[in-house]
Amino acid sequence: MATFELYRRSTIGMCLTETLDEMVSSGVLSPELAIQVLVQFDKSMTEALESQVRSKVSIKGHLHTYRFCDNVWTFIVQDALLKSEDFAENVGHMKIVACDSKLLTQ
C-alpha cells in the first residue's frame, strides 16, 4: 500500500517524529525500527482520515501562490476564510499542501 509521508508534518506526526528521534538518539530504539513506526503511522493516519472523519470544510481566500511540482499542489492563501459546520476561522496566511489522491489508489 502506497502511503504519503505528508501527514508527518502534522502535529501528531511531528510529535511522533520527536519521540522517535529522542528514543533513537538515546539508543533505546534502532533507526530501522523507528522508520517502520513512521511508515505505519503513514498508513494508520491515512486510514483514520478515510474511515473516521466525516466533516466537510470550505476554504475561500486570495490565492497568493500556486505551485504544482512532483504531483504536489501547494497553495498559499491570504485572508482565508475556513468554514465547516462546527467552526469558522479567519486566517491571514495559510499554506495548503496536497498530494494527488489518485496516487494512493494505484
Partner 1 sequence: MASSTTSNVYAHVIEDVINKCRDEFIDNGGTGDNVLNELQALWESKMIQAGAILGPIDRSATQKPSHGGPIPPNPVHDLNVPYEGTEEYETPTADLLFPPTPLQTPLPGTAQTPLPGTAQTPLPGTAQTPFTGMSDSSSLYNIHTGGTPITPNEYSSVNHTSGVPDMRAGSARPSPYMEPSPWLNQKPPLDVNVAYVEGREEGERRATHLPSTQDFFTMPSGKRKREDFPSQQNPGGYIPQQDGAGDISDDMKLDQGSSRQHVLVNANQKMVAQREGLSSRIPQLDGPIPDPYDDILSTPNIYNFQGVANEDYNIVNTPAPHEMQAPTPAPAPQNDIADDDEDEPLNEDDDDDDLDDVDQGADLNTTHLVLAQFDKVTRTKSRWKCTLKDGIMHINNKDILFNKASGEFEF
- Is position 31 an interface residue for partner 1 (rule: CB under 8 A)? yes
Q: Which of 54, 62, 55 is nearest to 84 (CA)?
A: 55
Do residues 99 and 4 lie in contact, with contact meaning Cβ atoms separated by under 8 Å?
yes
Binder of partner 1 out of 52, 69, 70, 106 (CB under 8 A): 52
> Whole-angstrom Cα distance, residue 10 to residue 72?
16
Nearer to partner 1, 58 or 70 (CB): 58
Specify the residue, 52 or 70, whose C-beta has the smaller distance to partner 1: 52
CB of 4 to partner 1, least distance (A): 7
- Candidate list 1, 56, 69, 70; residue touching partner 1; CB under 8 A: 56
User: If you write DSSP's letter for every residue of 35-52 in order, what string do you get?
Assistant: HHHHHHHHHHHHHHHHHH
